Structure 1
Amino acid sequence: MIYLDYAATTPISKSAINVWIKTNEDYFANSSSLHEAGSHANQLIQTCKEQLASLVGVRQEHVFFTSGGTEANQLALRSLYKAHKHKGNHVITSEIEHPSVHAFFQELKEDGVDVSYVPVNAQGLIEVEDVKRLTRSDTCLASIQHVNSEIGVIQPIALLGKWFRMHGIPFHSDCVQSFGKIPLDLYSFHTDAISVASHKIHGPKGMGAVFFSKDCNWVSTVPLTTHQSGFRPGTLNTPGIVAFTQAAIDSQQSITENLQHSWQLRDLFLNKLAPLGERLVIEGATNKQQQLPSIIGLAIHGVQGQYMLLSLDRYHICISTGSACQSQKQDASPVMRAIYATEQERLRFFRISFGRMTRESDLIYTAEKIIEIANDYQ
């Protein structure tokens, strides 16, 4: 099998598996229990929080664990909104956010909150001037993703964060696709909170986290919650936390090397697709500083993306037609609606996403099959 759907999920690494097994054997106690075994489990969790906090420039007491990226987004946004809703009845997000973020803002909209959706340009990028234009005196929350999961564009989070900070507007960013792949720093980003997920960086599924800045004001959304300072109820998943931390450390240590490798793989793959000529459309940013290389959004004139996915699957090549969170729905994702004018264009889209385990030979073979399928489909 050739797996090219890393933006959906990644295989768990051996180092993460090993520490997960070890933690299950030696630190299985409830970390909230007062006996010695519980205390040891809690100490291990505190060590993990300290290590994770150091990766993004926050303090360990501002790290909170969740069941994944979706819950991280929702809890972060609900906690921030509850703390700041008295400031106004207007919020800002973008047209191309993850479904979990769109769901939260849709709920606010149905409750009478005024929601502004920032548009994107043809490359899927947000213009800072559009954000400035939409900002109002009664704006009480903003959320803009860092890296898009379908076309890999990197939004200007630092510039946006500086603008929101100047106006006293709490700012959240979905960093699920960027964490462990490009450097993150809450201080330089001027963000109040970011959300991340374990399974995107070779950690276990079912683990995520929210990082708050030191001056961020948030409020518990679940009454009588005592776990994690009231952020999220429930016994902490100690083995999952430790395995997640191991995966995050591994990713951070090789972040520069992995980025360089990803650019080499991207250039190789796109060069191999060159025979398609003008039929091939490459989505995303043209400036390397605004593009995550490991996510490639593609379209081929005359070929539906779903047909390409199914055809490649016959050769045991795994790709995607977009976000896995949208895969069971027939309507186009917010990203497709934002960058494509017609339904025909949206249907052409498919995504290649790779990781540190991807080999050059995998991409060469995949490119050959894509060309073969495209030519046969004419």
Structure 2
Amino acid sequence: MIYLDYAATTPMSDNALHIYTKAAKSAFGNSSSLHDIGEISAKTLHASRKIIGDSIGGNEKGVYFTSGGSEANIVAVQSLLNGLDSNKKHLITTVMEHSSLFTYFKRLESEGFEVTFLPPDKYGNISLSSVKKAIKSDTGLVSIQHGNSEIGSIQPIEEIGLSLKEMGIIFHSDCVQTFGKIPLNVTNIDAISISSHKIYGPKGIGAAYINPSIHWHPVIQGTTHESGFRPGTVDVPAAAAFATAANDIMTNRNDFYNHYQKLKNLFIDLLHPYKEKITVLNWDNKFHSLPNILPIMVKGIEGQYVMLECNRFGFAVSTGSACQVGMQAPPKSVVALGYSDQEAKQFIRASFGKDTTEEHIRRFTDILIRIVENF
């Protein structure tokens, strides 16, 4: 089977797997233990934290390992809210956030916060001006994802972060889909969330970064691990493998970016005769979209059917974010672009990885055309 669902998860790289195995044997101790075996784990964890911090232009002291991107999102936001003035009850986010944050902000509404959910423009963009217009005197925190996992739109988080910094408003960004794929620097961003399994590292580990100068309080009082950020013994081998994957992907990021853009252009060219039936969303916005994500609408055919047919012919694609599988609602990012619920259900997503080839794209295009012609 040809795998075209890298935005959902990636296979673990040989190098990351090698480091994981090596660390599991040599750094198996509890990194909080004071004996020599614990010290080996602590040093391994420190080195991993430094690599992650350096990869985003941040201070290693602000890196906190988590169980993944979703936990990093929720715990980072809640920890930041715990450190805010109690009068700061207004929050800003978007209607396109990952389900972990979207549902969490909905919960915060029920707990007394006022939350503004910003809509995107027709290209899936959230502008700085729309953020500024939403700000109120009691706005305490803004959270806007860097790159959307369904339609691939990229938000100007550095620009937004700089403006919010000048106003003294805390800014968090979910960078799970963009980390390792496009440039990311936290100089003007207070907090971000990233994940290992999106960049060929192990599943079950991610990280939150909070600028050490930003005030926050733990979600669970009395926690000692990760400087009080979250409870539980840290998975040191996974952290080492995560750092290895991060270092590897940063080294090859530009080459991968160009490779993905070439594949995306090829797909567009091959489908041009069928553009009335098979549409790539956001193509007009290609300079502000992730090149590894192909958001596709197949007119008149439900995405679930197309996905299953692709699977039958040996291609693994999805109907949106894997974290929303099982929900009957259409992809909310597609609806946010102005499509009806019924139209949005005609959506499928293909996403590239480092092993995706031009031949894969040619064969995938042929299968899509066959599905449309035989429907």
The TM tier, using the shorter chain, reads over 0.9
- Match of residue 294 from structure 1: 292
TM-score by length of 2: 0.98
Kindly state the Cα deviation for residue 104 of structure 1 after the two structures are TM-superposed: 1.6
> Residue 18 of structure 1 aligns to which amino acid in structure 2?
H
- Match of residue 165 from structure 1: 165
> Residue 120 of structure 1 aligns to which amino acid in structure 2?
P
- Matches of 2:40 and 2:275, distance apart in 1: 60
- Match of residue 35 from structure 1: 35
Q: Larger deviation: 115-124 or 157-166?
A: 157-166
Kindly state the Cα deviation for residue 183 of structure 1 after the two structures are TM-superposed: 1.2
Residues 23-62 of structure 1 mapped to structure 2, 5 A cutoff: 23-62=23-62
Cα offsets for 1:182-203 (capped at 9, x unmatched): 111001xx11000000000000
Contact 1:176–1:197 (8 Å) recurs in 2: yes
Contact 2:331–2:345 (8 Å) recurs in 1: no
Kindly state the Cα deviation for residue 87 of structure 1 after the two structures are TM-superposed: 4.0
Kindly state the Cα deviation for residue 85 of structure 1 after the two structures are TM-superposed: 4.3
Gaps of 5+ in 1: none
CA RMSD of aligned residues (A): 1.1
Cα offsets for 1:3-41 (capped at 9, x unmatched): 000000001100011011111111111111111010011
Cα offsets for 1:133-190 (capped at 9, x unmatched): 1101100111000000001110111121122112111000000000011111001xx1
Cα offsets for 1:106-133 (capped at 9, x unmatched): 1110012110011101111112221111
Kindly state the Cα deviation for residue 280 of structure 1 after the two structures are TM-superposed: 2.4
- Matches of 1:221 and 1:344, distance apart in 2: 40
Are 1:129 and 2:129 an aligned pair?
Answer: yes
- Matches of 1:120 and 1:63, distance apart in 2: 30
Q: 1:254 aligns with which of 247, 252, 255?
A: 252
Contact 1:153–1:285 (8 Å) recurs in 2: no
- Match of residue 181 from structure 2: 181
- Matches of 1:285 and 1:363, distance apart in 2: 17
Other structure's SS at 2:333 match: helix
- Match of residue 3 from structure 2: 3
- Matches of 1:234 and 1:245, distance apart in 2: 20
- Match of residue 342 from structure 1: 340
Kindly state the Cα deviation for residue 285 of structure 1 after the two structures are TM-superposed: 5.4
Kindly state the Cα deviation for residue 275 of structure 1 after the two structures are TM-superposed: 2.3
Gaps of 5+ in 2: none
TM-score by length of 1: 0.97
Residues 179-218 of structure 1 mapped to structure 2, 5 A cutoff: 179-187=179-187, 190-218=188-216
- Matches of 2:321 and 2:85, distance apart in 1: 31
Cα offsets for 1:270-320 (capped at 9, x unmatched): 211122132222212524431110001010212211111000100120001
Other structure's SS at 1:298 match: strand
Cα offsets for 1:210-248 (capped at 9, x unmatched): 112242211111011111111011101011000101000
Contact 2:66–2:206 (8 Å) recurs in 1: yes
Kindly state the Cα deviation for residue 333 of structure 1 after the two structures are TM-superposed: 2.9
Q: How many residues align?
A: 375
CA 58–87 in structure 1, closer or farther in 2 if over 3 Å, else same = farther
> Residue 197 of structure 1 aligns to which amino acid in structure 2?
S
Kindly state the Cα deviation for residue 352 of structure 1 after the two structures are TM-superposed: 0.8
- Match of residue 145 from structure 2: 145
Kindly state the Cα deviation for residue 97 of structure 1 after the two structures are TM-superposed: 0.2
Are 1:277 and 2:248 an aligned pair?
Answer: no
- Matches of 1:164 and 1:233, distance apart in 2: 31
- Match of residue 240 from structure 2: 242
Kindly state the Cα deviation for residue 353 of structure 1 after the two structures are TM-superposed: 0.3
